[in-house]
Amino acid sequence: MRGPVRKLAQWLVVAGCLGLSAGCGVLDQLGGRSSRNKAPALAPTISSEGQIVLSHLDYLAQVVRASPAARAEIVDYARRTAAVDPTVTNQLRYALVLALPGVAGSDTAAARTELSALLASPERLLPAEQALAQVMLRDVDARLALLNENEQLSLKASSELRAREQALTRRLQAQAADIERLQQEVEEAEAKLKAVAELEKSLAQRQAAPKEPQP
């Protein structure tokens, strides 16, 4: 689950950029500047849009923390809810769940379809929701591109492996044919040697046979 947790943390940072605002005093403190003779730092505030984005990410956090069986039920519920009640919130949450990497029931290609459909009507989204959807779509596109590249490399490797196997098969077949030809040549040579030996034996027997006296 490290993948989904890390990705969720990245999206939380995005949500913070989209919905959180802080006073200049907070920035000064983060930069290590002295706050002496300066106005008190303003407490961080969360806009209504930021709260909506954070609610979406909190929903994802619940998915990540859930058991595998519960995750499958959540994904299925999100799908049915988006189909029955296609509000922006339901559709966006369904797209978010589909985009979670390493979660059972997630679907990167389907997430791209859902996010693209939402961004095709940007007037339905709040600016923060639109920005979050765009960030997620870029992330999904990057992962799909990586998957496609891996598939291409795998296909290339498989093709090269098949080519090597075919070349090896051809070499083995050629070697088998050579061995068969040599065996045939050896058998033919043995047959000729045997015939020569038989002929020599026959001649020797004729020469050794006693000659009949002349009348």
Tell me the per-residue pLDDT of 127-159, one tens digit each, with 9 for 90 and over: 888 988 998 899 999 989 988 888 888 777 777
Tell me the per-residue pLDDT of 87-115, one tens digit each, with 9 for 90 and over: 998 999 999 999 888 777 788 899 999 99
| Per-residue model confidence (pLDDT) at position 41 | 46
| Per-residue model confidence (pLDDT) at position 101 | 82
Which sequence spans correspond to the domains of the chain? 2-147
Q: Does residue 58 or residue 80 have the better pLDDT?
A: 80
The tally of CA atoms less than 13 A away on the side-chain side of residue 12 is: 10
